[in-house]
Amino acid sequence: MNKKIVLILTAFLFASAVSSCSNTPSENEKEQSGTAEVTTEAAVTEEDAGEPEVTEEEYVEPDYPELEADENSITFDDGDLYTAHCMNEKNFENDESNCRLSVADFKGTKQLRIEVLDFDVEKGKYKTPKIVFDMDELVGSENLSKVKSFSCDITQAAVGDFKGDDGEMLHVPGNLMGTFGSNVGEDCSDWYVPTGSASEYATAEWQCSWVHMHVDGKWLLKGFVDGTTDSTLVFMRWSIPNQADVYIDNLTFYDEDGKSIPIIYGKGDTQAETENGEMSSPEDEAAVTETAEETEKAETTEETGGENGAE
């Protein structure tokens, strides 16, 4: 009897020991379970996250550059055209465009303004303005041989809108490309394109409403001859589909040492041809432009079909 009791107690103690061991976690289990905190935040799924919101920043035009003028630069500040006139070889029936020339304020500085008036419907582009400066009147016929180089600022500003291939309308100047040429030699019959950035200048702008270039050119192989009266410098801008005005400023001539040459031209000696063929002085040219500007551009838009001059 006593043996049975002893056996029963022994079995009970053994079972209790086993049960106690099974409820104690092993070291391995402790390492695996760790001490992670329980969080009540909801899990973020890919669908909940979605795409990040993108906001398109509004385009802000840059500041217009501060143009630098030499003491002998033609700045057009006095309102004179300084002999500038529109070339007309065949009554504007070829690639040349009739232009309205005036001195206008652009971005706080007075500049020579060139409004291109003629649109070639067949080609779908505004024709080429060719603006002539009479060199003997500007520097003096006796000083022509001293002129070895020149520089100036060119700006093109949007007037009409440019229609892109996707149909989007952009108020931009688009392409600004062209060249400067000159009539040189003993009888001023030699056509010479000065070497440098003024030769086949090219830039473009598709965001800002204007684009600016500073160009220069040199007469290396040929040049002006003293005593001649038909020596010229000619500005040209190649044809473009959109309507855009051109501005010229700080036209400066230099000698072989790079020193600027004084301008001897007197105010009031030049006239500008208006659209109807009448002549007007620089003093009333601005008034003509001011009163006729909206009418002329509205007529141009109607005739050429609006944007890019195309129907």
Q: Per the structure block, which two tokens stand in for 287?
A: 């008034």
Q: Nearest to residue 248, comparing CAs of 103, 57, 72, 37? A: 103
283 assigned to some structural domain: yes
44 assigned to some structural domain: no
35 assigned to some structural domain: no
Q: Per the structure block, which two tokens stand in for 186?
A: 């003993």
Ordered alpha helix ranges (H), the chain: 2-22, 27-33, 46-49, 135-139, 282-304
Mean pLDDT (whole number) for 180-205: 97
For position 48, what pLDDT does the model report?
52
Contact of 230 with 295, CB cutoff 8 Å:
no
92 assigned to some structural domain: yes
Mean pLDDT (whole number) for 34-41: 48
Q: How many domains does one find in the chain? A: 1
CATH of the domain at 197: 2.60.120
**pLDDT digit string (tens) for 64-91?**
999 999 999 999 999 999 999 999 988 8
225 assigned to some structural domain: yes
Mean pLDDT (whole number) for 158-184: 95
276 assigned to some structural domain: yes
Mean pLDDT (whole number) for 191-209: 97
Backbone phi, then psi, for 304, in 5-degree steps? -100, -5
**pLDDT classification of 12: cutoffs 50, 70, 90:** low
Containing domain of residue 93, as a range?
Answer: 85-309
- Residue 141 pLDDT greater than 80, yes or no: yes
Summary mean pLDDT of the chain: 81
230 assigned to some structural domain: yes
**pLDDT digit string (tens) for 80-136?**
999 999 999 888 989 999 999 999 999 999 999 999 999 999 999 999 999 999 999
For residue 211, give the 3-state DSSP assignment.
strand
Backbone phi, then psi, for 136, in 5-degree steps? -65, -30
Tell me how far the alpha carbon of residue 257 is from its chain's centroid: 32
Q: Torsion-angle region of residue 59: left (phi > 0), alpha (psi -120 to 50) or beta?
A: beta
Q: Torsion-angle region of residue 82: left (phi > 0), alpha (psi -120 to 50) or beta?
A: left
